[in-house]
Amino acid sequence: MSATDDDNDGQTTEREVIQGEIDTTEETSPKKPGKAGGAHRAPDEEDETPVAEDAKPGLGSEVAALRNELDERTHDLQRVTAEYANYRKRVDRDRSVASEQTTGAVLTALLPVLDDIDRAREHGDLVGPFASVAEQLTASTGKLGLVAFGEKGDPFDPNRHEAVAHQTSADVTEPTCVDVMRRGYTLGERLLRPAMVAVADPE
C-alpha cells in the first residue's frame, strides 16, 4: 500500500468519527414541540384553555335560605291581606247594623204618630193641611224602609200578629185576622212591632 492510500484511509476514518459525533448530538438533544403543520410555537406562548371556576361553597344554602324567607314574607302578606279584608267586611256589617238600629229607634218613636194618622183616616178627619203633612210623613218613613202590614182577611201569623181576641166563624178555613186594632211595622227583615188583631178560627 502506498503512502497516499494510507493518508486517504486516515481521513476517511476521521470523517466517520466526526459524523458519528454529530448524529449522536442530534439524537440526544431535546426537540421543541411544534404546532400543527410543523410550525414551532413561540417560547412565550401558553395554553389558553379556559379553566372553569369552582362554585363558591355555601351558595346553594344561601339561595335556599333566601327562598324560604321570601315564602315566609309572602305568607305573612297573604295573611295580613285576608285579615284586613275580613276586618273591612266586619266594619261594614257593624256599620250597617248600627245604622239600621238607629233608624229603627227613630221610626219606633214615630209609630204612635202614624197610629193617630191611621185613626184620623178611618174617621174621615184626614183633610186639609193635616192630610198633606200626614202624606209627607208616611212617604218619608217609607223611604227609610218602614213597611206597614196587618189587614182584615190576612192569615194569622203568630210571628207577626198579636191576637187580642178570638172567635169562631164558618166563613174561614184557617185562623184569619178579622179585625185590626193596630197595624204592625217592619224595617227590612226586622220586626219593629207586631200587628194587634182579632182572630177567627174555623168552626
* pLDDT tens figures, 158-189: 999 999 999 999 999 999 999 999 999 999 88
Q: Show the domains of the chain with their CATH numbers.
A: 75-202 (2.30.22.10)
pLDDT at 60: 83
pLDDT at 14: 54
Question: Over the stretch 27-73, which tens digit does the pLDDT of each residue have?
Answer: 444 454 444 444 445 445 455 555 445 555 578 888 888 999 999 99
**Overall pTM surpassing 0.75 (yes/no):** no
Answer whether residue 124 shows pLDDT above 60: yes
Burial of 104 by CB count in 10 Å (0-12 exposed, 13-18 middle, 19+ buried)?
A: buried
pLDDT at 2: 45
Between CA 120 and CA 112 the distance in angstroms is: 12
